[in-house]
């Protein structure tokens, strides 16, 4: 389903079995040896999610990618598992785009989780100029996803993201503002035994663009 040029929604892209496996993997990751944490952004505000970056770490103070979490505990970002890179590639292909992700930002939203309107623009000039997409996968509780335009004040569309949905924004949609205004507790499929929501966004940084060129 094309939401706008370059923005594609794939409702229930993942079967319940794949959602289950991914939910287990996310749960283990956020409470693993390099656990998810609540980032504090440059202005001093605490984010309303627990975040774990795989592959490369997004530093919430500098807004740059790095190998270790220098804004928090100095631990190295855990590797991005091959099967997750392949999943992101597969979803991007469905949208007619190419993605060789080297980063996955895994966010956990509790009942009061949310994320302000922002652009994903830290992956680097090569990646952004090429319109390489961000691939987003949602697992668990339903989210009210906000999808705006290229300027913060542009009109905003509300999209419901349910468990198993995939959303891709690349090309002319790559820099559109987006965020999450709320999640709806207790809406995750029962089989997942999950309270809250995981969202995984896969990205390709300039490091990966240079490595593949």
Ligand X SMILES: O=C(O)CCC(=O)C(=O)O
- Calculate the dihedral angle through the C-alpha atoms of 43, 45, 49, 53, rounding to the nearest 10 degrees: 30
Contact 142, 180 (CB under 8 A): no
- Minimum distance of ligand X from residue 3's CB (angstroms): 13
- Minimum distance of ligand X from residue 63's CB (angstroms): 12
What does DSSP assign to residue 100? -
Shorter beta-carbon distance to ligand X: residue 84 or 180: 180
- Distance between CA atoms of 158 and 179, rounded to whole angstroms? 10
Structure tokens at 64: 């740059």
* Phi and psi torsions of 51, nearest 5°: -120, 140
Any bridge partners for residue 58, and if so which? 65
- Distance between CA atoms of 63 and 33, rounded to whole angstroms? 24
Structure tokens at 87: 């999943």
- Minimum distance of ligand X from residue 171's CB (angstroms): 18
Shorter beta-carbon distance to ligand X: residue 141 or 213: 141
- Minimum distance of ligand X from residue 27's CB (angstroms): 17
- Minimum distance of ligand X from residue 199's CB (angstroms): 3
Nearest-CA neighbor of 203 among 118, 99, 68, 92? Answer: 99
- Minimum distance of ligand X from residue 100's CB (angstroms): 19
Shorter beta-carbon distance to ligand X: residue 163 or 201: 201
Contacts of 53 (CB under 8 A, 6+ apart): 69, 77, 103, 104, 105, 106
Q: Contact residues for ligand X (CB under 6 A)? A: 105, 107, 115, 120, 136, 138, 143, 145, 161, 178, 180, 199, 201
Residue of minimal CB distance from ligand X? 199
Shorter beta-carbon distance to ligand X: residue 94 or 121: 121
Shorter beta-carbon distance to ligand X: residue 69 or 178: 178
Shorter beta-carbon distance to ligand X: residue 107 or 127: 107
């Amino acid at each position: 389903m094309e939401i706008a040029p370059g923005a594609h929604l794939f409702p229930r892209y993942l079967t319940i079995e794949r959602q289950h496996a991914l939910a287990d993997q996310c749960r283990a990751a956020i409470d693993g040896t390099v656990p998810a944490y609540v980032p504090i952004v440059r202005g001093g505000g605490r984010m309303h999610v627990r975040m774990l970056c795989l592959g490369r770490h997004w530093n919430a103070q500098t807004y740059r990618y790095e190998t270790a979490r220098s804004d928090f505990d100095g631990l190295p970002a855990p590797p991005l598992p091959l099967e997750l890179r392949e999943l992101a590639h597969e979803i991007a292909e469905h949208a007619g785009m190419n993605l060789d992700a080297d980063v996955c930002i895994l966010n956990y939203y509790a009942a009061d989780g949310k994320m302000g309107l922002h652009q994903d623009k830290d992956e680097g000039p090569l990646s952004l100029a090429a319109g390489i997409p961000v691939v987003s996968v949602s697992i668990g509780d339903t989210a009210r996803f906000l999808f705006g335009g290229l300027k913060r004040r542009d009109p905003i569309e509300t999209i419901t993201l349910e468990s198993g949905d995939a959303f891709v924004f690349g090309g002319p949609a790559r820099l559109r503002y987006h965020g999450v205004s709320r999640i709806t507790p207790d809406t995750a499929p029962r089989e997942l035994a999950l309270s809250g929501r995981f969202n995984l966004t896969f990205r390709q940084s300039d490091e990966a663009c240079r490595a593949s060129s």
